[in-house]
Amino acid sequence: MIFRQLFDSASGTYTYLIAGRAGGEALLIDPVLEKLDRYLKLLDELELKLVKAVDTHLHADHFSALAALQQRTHCVNVMGSQTAADVVSLRVDEGDIIDVDGQRLEAIYTPGHTDDSYSFLMGDRVFSGDTLLIRGTGRTDFQNGDPYAQYDSLFNKLLRLPAETLVFPAHDYKGDTVSTIGEERAFNPRLQVDSADEYAELMNKLNLPRPAMMDVAVPANLRGAG
Ligand SMILES: [Fe+2]
């Protein structure tokens, strides 16, 4: 397997490149528009053909590269069935499998950060989007966010994965790159709650500022421009 964790420092976004073998087909998760040339160069260097590009949810903090990648590589764009984004050609639901050259990603519907948030399980690792971050969780105060839905996604889905499952989030702002389900269960301050009500109270008290790019990024990501 070819696996790369790529970083956009402007938005703190991780993008993941997955392929079965050099010379084969590839998939990107959460690509950032400003990094388009870097992805195309890396795909070229590794002699990979991009066949699918996935957004874990509609992003509010950066321009997605899905539309641009589709234009440049004719890849299939993938998001959850709940999304309002126009650029999607394949919509997945809970339990659907995305297959690229023998690498299988299972879609897990994990709403809460947004109502179109998905995580993707691939063997020993899960791509947790903005549902589960390293020592944090995605905010739930806009884009149809819902702390009760997120509690359910976390405690009844992601935290039920084997403790050794590697956690690769969509963002990190502190320099952490990977964690495990067991580590997050023990040390993530957001997960030290006893009930959905307690979790919702914690999330509703965060009072976070609006993302700087939200007013331009959300409309652009909906219509596939940027
Ligand atoms: Fe997000």
131 Cα to the center of ligand 1, angstroms? 8
113 Cα to the center of ligand 1, angstroms? 7
Q: What is the pLDDT of residues 161-212, one digit of tens each?
A: 999 999 999 999 999 999 999 999 999 999 999 999 999 999 999 988 888 8
Q: Read off the tokens for 217.
A: 């990024």
> What are the angstrom distances between the C-alpha of 153 and each of 22, 40, 126, 176, 223?
35, 34, 13, 22, 27
Residues lying with their CB under 5 A of ligand 1, a single-atom ion: 130
Residue 80 banded pLDDT, cuts 50, 70, 90: very high
Tell me the DSSP string of 10-51.
TTTEEEEEEESSTTSEEEEES-BGGGHHHHHHHHHHTT-EEE
Average pLDDT over residues 132-144: 95
- CA dist 128 and 154 (Å) reads 10
Q: Is residue 225 pLDDT above 70, yes or no?
A: no
47 Cα to the center of ligand 1, angstroms? 31
Question: Parallel, antiparallel, or unpaired: how do β-strands 103-109 and 97-100 relate?
Answer: antiparallel
- CA dist 166 and 181 (Å) reads 7
117 Cα to the center of ligand 1, angstroms? 8
Q: Sign of dihedral through CA atoms 9, 7, 152, 185?
A: negative
Q: Is residue 145 pLDDT above 80, yes or no?
A: yes
pTM, two decimal places:
0.97
104 Cα to the center of ligand 1, angstroms? 24
Average pLDDT over residues 25-51: 98
Q: Is residue 221 pLDDT above 90, yes or no?
A: yes
138 Cα to the center of ligand 1, angstroms? 7
| The pLDDT of residue 83 | 95
